[in-house]
Amino acid sequence: MTSALNSTVHQRGAASPAPRRKRLSTTERLALLERENATCHLCKGIIQPGQAWDVSHEIPLELGGADDDENRKAAHRKCHRVHTAAVDLPTIAKAKRNYAKHRGAAVSRQPMRGGRRDALKKRMDGTVVLRATGKPWKPASSPSSSVAYHAEASPAFPPHQAPPPRPERKPEGDGDEGASERGQS
Ligand SMILES: [Zn+2]
């Protein structure tokens, strides 16, 4: 039961080759071209005799599209390659990233400071504690420590201190701007 699911997931893995597709015979390719009225499904233009064309999957196999007549379309080879590189591959890559994230395989290399994956947390009163024990945290002596940032940040922004007030705009400045605008018009 789960083995079938696992094999499907494994086939969709990044290291695995793309899903298998049937190689159409000449007769099948000709039938496809006539069924599609020799129209490229990407640019909607006619595939002229002598123009190279590919069997294109409207929904890429990597995104769950079926390798069947309903999903098979005809496309100019030029259109097909551009579309694959510009649309399909980025979409497939994103789907893989999302899936890895969904399954918890993707872990950020830079956990948010003070976030749930950080070793430290900052309390509402501004004190920094070790997340695991809840004991007060003391700045590490070695600057290479991963938590040295807190030692640098704490003196710069002590808790409950308002930022320095902004310099107020002088009313003369507004007047000058208005004067210059009047001068231009
Ligand atoms: Zn085309």
pLDDT digits (tens, 9 = 90+) for 156-167: 444 555 556 666
pLDDT tops 80 at residue 138: yes
Cα(43) to centroid(ligand 1), Å: 4
pLDDT tops 80 at residue 115: yes
pLDDT tops 50 at residue 102: yes
pLDDT of res. 142: 54
Cα(118) to centroid(ligand 1), Å: 51
pLDDT of res. 140: 73
Phi, psi for 8 (deg, rounded to 5) = -65, -45
Instruction: Report how far apart, in Å, the C-alpha atoms of 175 and of each of 168, 178, 181, 184 are.
Output: 15, 5, 10, 14
pLDDT of res. 8: 42
pLDDT tops 90 at residue 36: yes
47 or 6: whose pLDDT is higher?
47
Mean pLDDT, rounded, for 103-126: 88
Cα(54) to centroid(ligand 1), Å: 10
- Please give the structure tokens belonging to residue 120: 């430290």
54: helix, strand or coil: strand
Cα(75) to centroid(ligand 1), Å: 5
Q: Which domains, ranges and CATH numbers included, belong to the chain?
A: 2-103 (1.10.30)
pLDDT bucket at 173, cuts 50 / 70 / 90:
very low
What is the Cα–Cα distance from 120 to 182, expressed in whole angstroms? Answer: 57
Instruction: Give the predicted TM-score (pTM) of the model.
Output: 0.54
49 or 146: whose pLDDT is higher?
49
155: helix, strand or coil: helix
Cα(71) to centroid(ligand 1), Å: 17
Mean pLDDT, rounded, for 69-79: 96
Cα(83) to centroid(ligand 1), Å: 10
Average pLDDT score over the chain = 78
pLDDT of res. 60: 95
Question: Across 85-99, 101-115, 118-132, which has the greatest mean pLDDT?
Answer: 85-99
